[in-house]
Amino acid sequence: MYNDSSINIKHHSKKNSNVLWFDDTHGLILSFVIPVVIMLIILIQRKIFPFGENSFMRTDMYHQYVPFFSEFRYKLTTGQSLLYSWDVGMGVNFPALYAYYLASPLNWLVVLCPENSIIEFVTGMIIFKIGLCGLSFSYYLKKHSKNPGFGIVFFGIFYALSGYMAAYNWNIMWLDCIVLFPMVCLGLENIVNKKSGLLYVISLGICICSNYYISIMICMFMIIYYIMLLILKGKQSISDFIRSALSFGIYSICAGGMSAAILLPEIYALRHTASGEFDFPDVFNSYFSIFDMFARHMGNVEIEIGLDHWPNIYCGVAVIMFMFLYLNNAEIKLKEKAVYITASVFMLAGFSINVLDYMWHGLHFPNSLPARQSFIYIFLVLFMSYRVYDKLGANTLKQVGRAFLMSMAFILLCQKLVPEEENFHFMVYYGAMIFTALYALIIYLSKQGFVNPNIILFAAFTIVSIEAAVNTVITSVATTSRSAYTDDNADIKNLVKEIKAEDKDFYRFDKTARKTKNDGAWLNFHSASIFSSTANADLTDFLKSMGCEASTNAYSINGATPLVDSLLSIKYAMYQLQPSNPELRYISISGTTYLYENPFVLPLGYMLPDNFEENWLLDAPNPADVQNDISEVLQVPPVLDRVDGEIAGNTYTFTPDIKGIYYVYINNKNIKDVEVKTSDTGEPREFNDVNRGYLIELGNCEAGVDVTLSTDETDKVMDAIVYRFNYNALREIYNIFSQNPMTIVRYTSRRVTGSINAPQAGVMMTSIPYDSGWKIHVDGKLQSARKGYNAFISLNLAQGEHTIDMVYEPEGLRMGWAVTLASLFVITCSVAGSRVIKSFNKEDAALKRFFARNNINHKFLKKDMISDIENSARKLVNKEPSIQNVATKNADDVDSDFEILDFDDFDDGNSNDDGDSNDYDSN
């Protein structure tokens, strides 16, 4: 790769052809433009909307980010409160959801986005941030070279289109941190070099605000990086060390304090999730070898986003050769090599060793999406590579040749030794060798000096762009059908709008043809399902006990019986096919979507019968038994009547004797997927993840028609229990629970006002998830809520009529804002104080220069004479710009010792930053 900072002009001086066409400014611009252009070309090639009917949605972007962006936009455009949302998981702390998924400042631009273009907004924002990654890293490199030149673009492109970005570019909530990370490092370097900490505190503060999770890794690395910088800086006075340590600590705390308004409500909310538990590993073990891990530096290696722990560390195949050159470069000091190589090896160990992996991920093992801190390792490797590039003149052709041969040998060893199960396509090795040879040729030609340097630079730029583009095309940008995601959206919104105009009460919807568990957020209707890391663990447990699908960070009403719908206030259901359930009441149709009403829905709040909660057993292993226990406590018939069937190995068959709604519970938790067929049609239906323990809803089954359940796993026994739902029992339960309902007078996105009559002292149960952020006034007096059914808000009420007023404010919000404002005040005072001190230093430098030029020695003057002379000098300095300019220039020269953060300067640990103070004393 051509080093444009040390141009060989011997063969071009006569024609002046050595003048470079491009400089570092062009490099910065193209570091942003090239990744963006490459991504746009891929979008066109993949036929992603508006270039086709596909969409750039993958995993969490499909299931979480896009729906949450829709809910955020809906709140902003309709003026709803940002403190609570009924559209997600029966009701959630929205600031917690915002802090986890939506906190990037750029996300507020979604308010300008048309309602039907949210997917494209998210896609466009991802591409924009990928470009910013390249620009940010190139700017960082520019600050570390006295002659940066155009070549910074090569490394900016590889940072923006690294293996990490290929794997996780869809993860928009992480990208701000990847963009800002180089600025955080640059800011810390400023602190160590006695410069302003403003860049550090602002960039780190925005990082923490944007995504606290990735910021945990950044903050951990900042401690490591601070130690690295201290070692590189060399010997310094105790006072200088204390000053930098205090600055580092105070500015770090202030950065965290800046984000407290967002972070504290999130922290309080996470205590109630499954993620709030910690399980430190008992033993050390390693997932894979360093050699196998380092092999992933080759391009076009299949990315890992599953449960395996492989890091995605590709950042250009040239880094393999550059690592050998780095070790042999005479102009890069041994101390720097030792520090950066040690840090890189430690980062590699963090990918492979389970305890370090656990610590890097915030005291949790990642649930898929492994090695989320890989971008830090990529940053280190690319910086070391740039150091070689910047000082390539110090590497001889023999060293380049040896590095090339060693790189080729490493690639061949990888082909021989890397296990086949790692799925390295044979073209990975050939591609790595081809690009390595091309880079070696570029370096050779640049050192020989008989090729125009502009041609060399352009060739290197072209090869880098092609390599990065090829890797991104092969390994990244998976697509899904946009039309399948949006085809029923207009119909759903029409039906929801129609009902909201007629029914002003509180209720929830069920969308039976679910695209995600966050359909309520995507289409802005009150729902009972959620897939989010902020999911309430108590609700997860409750719904799982009732036979609904639930997992670590998700719960839904998949598997819910009409009784569960009733308890959760799910009044309306939307179907793609007209349901055959005669108990449902038809309401409307829009397009191919039908809207039906559940006639047995309970209100948001109602009085429980005496001692019901104490007697209802929620911990039975079979959810059908849990629901039937409600019937037993209320002394009504069971809601789920058992139906006999026959087990035959991996199949189970039963024949309904009565037409009705049937459910199946799979006792064998080793069975994951079940296929259901009926003898009349023979058309199979698939049910997945049944090992989560939810009830399989078979729907309306005809009498006398055989129903067969089977699994492809022939070694598994289909141990199943079949139930028929009893609507007569539900009707009796509903009549008991609805005798004393809460009447909703008014409700908003964060407030519920109503009234209720308690015929005797008892418990009012609600279907509002328990959250200590709810402040409840009963008859004007503040009353503490209690946790009903271990998951919902309930109140102990005395006999009589009561008014209920419930207002939500997230726990920790006020304290968070107080800390944020205090931190901003401290930062403002620090910046103002630094500027005042800098102003005094400049004036003092001018006075020293004045005394020196006039041969005035203050030691032989009386105090009053010194004061008079200083006052006169200050007036003269202020009147004569030339003197002020000289002084300012002198002070700036002193400040600029570390303006270009070349680590070669870091050994000057004993340098005096007091400018001309020694001259002043000697005169």
Q: What is the pLDDT of residue 15?
A: 43
Q: What is the pLDDT of residue 873?
A: 57
Q: What is the pLDDT of residue 888?
A: 42
d(CA 910, CA 113): 55
Cis peptide before 105 (omega within 30 of 0): no
Of the ranges 612-616, 682-686, 808-812, which one carries the lowest mean pLDDT score?
A: 682-686
Of the ranges 244-258, 626-640, 729-743, 842-856, which one carries the lowest mean pLDDT score?
A: 842-856
Look-up: residue for tokens 């005096």?
Answer: 912
d(CA 323, CA 397): 16
Domain ranges in the chain with CATH number 2.60.40 = 735-810
Q: What is the pLDDT of residue 335?
A: 95
Tens-digit pLDDT profile for residues 753-764: 999 999 999 999
Both ends of the chain: CA-CA distance in Å?
A: 52
Tens-digit pLDDT profile for residues 712-722: 988 899 999 99
Closest C-alpha to 705, from 658, 643, 646 = 658
pTM value?
A: 0.89
CATH number of 735-810: 2.60.40
d(CA 88, CA 94): 9
**Percentage of the chain exceeding pLDDT 70:** 88
Q: In this model, does residue 39 exceed pLDDT 80?
A: yes
> How do beta strands 508-511 and 570-575 pair?
parallel
| Close Cβ partners of 139 (under 8 Å, ≥ 6 residues apart) | 28, 182, 183
DSSP 554: E
d(CA 824, CA 641): 63
| Close Cβ partners of 409 (under 8 Å, ≥ 6 residues apart) | none
Token pair of 856 as six digits:
């005035």
- The answer to whether 210 and 104 are in contact (CB under 8 A) is yes
- Confidence at 146, pLDDT banded by 50, 70, 90: confident
The Cβ of residue 29 has, within 10 Å, a number of other Cβ atoms equal to 14
Q: What is the pLDDT of residue 857?
A: 61
Token pair of 640 as six digits:
């789920």
Q: In this model, does residue 12 exceed pLDDT 60?
A: no
Token pair of 783 as six digits:
């009353």
- The answer to whether 810 and 265 are in contact (CB under 8 A) is yes
| Close Cβ partners of 735 (under 8 Å, ≥ 6 residues apart) | none
- The answer to whether 31 and 152 are in contact (CB under 8 A) is yes
| Continuous segment of H or E residues that includes residue 804 | strand 800-808
- The answer to whether 810 and 96 are in contact (CB under 8 A) is yes
DSSP 353: B
Q: What is the pLDDT of residue 782?
A: 96
- Confidence at 875, pLDDT banded by 50, 70, 90: low
Tens-digit pLDDT profile for residues 615-670: 999 999 999 999 999 999 999 999 999 999 999 999 999 999 999 999 999 999 99
Q: What is the pLDDT of residue 919?
A: 37
Q: In this model, does residue 874 exceed pLDDT 90?
A: no
Mean model confidence pLDDT for the chain: 89
Which sign does the torsion angle of CA 612, 614, 618, 621 carry? negative
Q: What is the pLDDT of residue 778?
A: 97
Q: In this model, does residue 301 exceed pLDDT 70?
A: yes
